[in-house]
Each structure stands twice: as C-alpha cells, then as structure tokens.
Structure 1
Amino acid sequence: MSTSQRRRQANEQRASGQLACDAATAHPGLLVSALDNGSLDVGGAGEVLVQAVPYVGMGRADAFARLTSEILAARGPQLPFVSRATATTSTAGDAGLHIQRRIVGAETVEFGGCDPQVAAHVIGNLNVGNDRALMTDAITAVLPWIGYRRTLNALRAIDQGTTGPAEL
C-alpha cells in the first residue's frame, strides 16, 4: 500500500471513528485538513458516511452528513462525481463487508453495542407484559435511526430473552 493510500485510509478511519463516537465538533477540522492536504477526496468523504450509516444509524450520521455537506458546498461544486464503483451486484455484499471492516474495524462490524443493557431491556419489557412481536416491531421501526448492528443485537437479545424465563 502506498503512502497516499495509507493516509487516505487513516483519514477514513479517523472520520469513521468520529462518527461512531459522535464527535461532531472534531469532524470539520479533520475533514477540511484531509481535503486540503489531498489525503481524502470528496468521494472518500461521502464513502465514510455511506459505509457508516448501516452501523451507527441515520440518527447519529445525520449531523455528520450535514457538516460534510456544508464543508463540501463551501468548497464549490465538484460535480459530476466520478463513479468509484469497484463491485458488481454479485460481489457487492462481500466487497461492502470488506470495506466496512477496513473503515470501521472488524470489531465494530462483528461485535459491539450494549448487549447487557439490551438484554435487561428485553427482560423488563417481558416483565411488564410486552411480547416478542411488540418488541420486534419496535426495533424494526427504529432500524434506520439506530443502524443494522444495534438492530441485529437487539433482535438477538429478543430471541434469547423470549426463549427462556423472563428474569435476570
């Protein structure tokens, strides 16, 4: 990997980390610096957002999308965007997972979240009379805002919590 590729990857990872931990105040400075020194281009800035949304959810990514849009708009139009597609329909799933692991880290893709807290919420919901269907509907409804990772973790906790006794 070349030095410029390493710098680009490092800046994508920094931006993803800021997005994941909701560090919106630090994001503009990093983005402007990376764009100015050429270690991140407009497409890369957008790619960070596109790849992160499924994991952190639109609720967290929204502020970063707005900040990124403001910064890019202030720099002037850079249209049309050149396609950066490197995958086909048949390879997109594996290629996307590879990129997501590279950008946000394999640990974030494979694990993460607040599993003990989610399990406690499932038990609490069962104890007040809410059933599996109601909890599944609620989690599915908020999927765009909490992201796939948290949704899958919650659904797993619902599955585990509804197959046994509802107690801690």
Structure 2
Amino acid sequence: MDVKKLYETDPEFMDIFEHFAGDEVIHQKGQELDDVTRYMAILATLLGCQGQDAFRFILPQALQVGLTPVMVKEVVYQSCDYLGFAKMLPFLNIVNEELEKQNIALPLPSQKTTTRDNRLEKGANTQAIIFGDHMKEAWKNGHINQWLADNCFGDFYTRTGLTLAQREMITFCFLMAQGGCEPQLIAHAKGNMNLGNDEAFLRKVVSQCLPYMGYPRSLNAMTCIQKAIES
C-alpha cells in the first residue's frame, strides 16, 4: 500500500491527519519531544498496533531525522519479546528492504554483549537495575521467569545500540499500542520512571503516538501512568 497515493484519492482526510499529526500534536505546548525520541516511539507504537503500511511510510522519515540503522533494528529486534516473532517478522522485512534500498550493507555490526554462559546473570542484573534488587532472584520462580531474565533481558536489553532508558521507553510503546497488557504497562511505566523517564516524559510519549494508535489506547496508557505513580 502506497500511503502517498492517499494524497490523490483522499486529500481531505490527509489534510486533516497531516495537520493534526504533523503540526498540532508535534507542537502542542509542553508535549514536545526531540525528533529522534519521537520517531523511535512512533516506530515502536506502529509495531505494537501492527501498522505495517504506516511503518513503511514513517521509516524513511525516522532515518532522515537521525535514527541510525542500528537503532531501528534494535527497536524491531526487541519487539519480538513483547509481540512475538509472528508479529515482528513483517516489520523486520520492511526494515531490511528499506536499508537495502538505501544501499546500507547487511548484516549490521553486532550489538551483542552477552554469551550463553552469562546471559542469565546479566539479564537478572538488568531487571534489577530497572525494577529493583528483588528481581535478581525472580528468575527462580519458574521457567518462564527464567526465560524472561535470560532471553528478554539477557539477550536483548543488554545489547548496545540503544540506551537502557530508550529500551524501556520502546517497551512501554509496544505494550500501550497492542492493548490488553495494562498490568505489564503499569509495571513498565514504573520501570521507565526508575530510569529517569519520568511521568511528564511518558505523557509526552503517549501524546506524540496518539495519532497512530487512537484515543482509547492512549487514554488507557495515561491511566496506567497514573496507577504506576500511585502504586
């Protein structure tokens, strides 16, 4: 689907949407984000709500404003833990197609920092940094908790290419955009705040992503931020 064709077939809609998403939202006083952060959040949100055509349309803009190919790939890779391989795969193909179109050699440089021997330890330590020291032992509460530590956090969160705070932000976006994950969204709102992504920042992220995921999930995300503060 060529989104650009909509300017010919649906000019009135595109005029409304472009004014709202491309002007009003971006410049709303007190809700502004720098371009790299805003586009990173939008890409993660489009992954979360499975907006493949919109992702394909936005991706070149994200690369143009300063997201590196490594940053984009890391956003997509990490989404596998929160969306599953089946939902992540089409987006990975879209990214590869765009990078090849721009003559960027693949594969990109490795961002890996763990081994099969230390991924559990480093993953649990990363969980503890985000959520508190009690997480160092949480992996012992069952095999899925162990996978969460060694795979989600040990394999992915420990990678370079994105900061830990950026990784928590995109996780927040994955969860809020797919919906139905409010308990996890509250937990990761708290995790974001622990890393310095405070309430005001998270509300800006929701605001900047609203045009791409709609009002219901945006309002739910705002509620989850408030619950994270109160818990």
- TM-score, reference length from structure 2: 0.39
Identify the residue that residue 91 of structure 1 maps to in structure 2.
122
Structure 1 residues 67 and 80: CA distance shift in structure 2, 3 A: closer
The Cα offsets for residues 121-154 of structure 1, whole Å up to 9 and x where unpaired, read as xxxxxxxxxxxxxxxxxxxxxxxxxxxxxxxxxx
Identify the residue that residue 96 of structure 2 maps to in structure 1.
69
Output the amino acid matched with 2:42: R
Identify the residue that residue 37 of structure 2 maps to in structure 1.
9
Q: Are 1:108 and 2:175 an aligned pair?
A: yes
Q: Are 1:81 and 2:108 an aligned pair?
A: yes
- Between the aligned partners of 1:23 and 1:31, the Cα distance in structure 2 is 12
The Cα offsets for residues 34-56 of structure 1, whole Å up to 9 and x where unpaired, read as 1123x211101100111111111
- Between the aligned partners of 1:86 and 1:28, the Cα distance in structure 2 is 30
Aligned pair count reads: 109
Structure 1 residues 91 and 6: CA distance shift in structure 2, 3 A: farther
Q: Percent identity at matched positions?
A: 22
Identify the residue that residue 20 of structure 1 maps to in structure 2.
48
Q: Is the 8 A contact 1:13 1:104 kept in 2?
A: no
The Cα offsets for residues 47-104 of structure 1, whole Å up to 9 and x where unpaired, read as 0111111111111112111111111111113356344457784434526285542213
Matches within 5 A, 1:150-165: none
Q: Please state how far the C-alpha of 1:19 moved relative to its aligned partner.
A: 0.6
When you count helix as a share of all residues, which structure comes out higher?
2
Q: Is the 8 A contact 2:40 2:62 kept in 1?
A: no
Q: Please state how far the C-alpha of 1:11 moved relative to its aligned partner.
A: 1.6
What are the ranges of 5 or more consecutive residues in structure 2 without an aligned counterpart?
A: 1-32, 128-156, 158-163, 183-231
Matches within 5 A, 1:37-76: 37=65, 39-76=66-103
Output the amino acid matched with 1:91: K
- TM-score, reference length from structure 1: 0.52
Identify the residue that residue 36 of structure 1 maps to in structure 2.
64
Identify the residue that residue 161 of structure 1 maps to in structure 2.
none
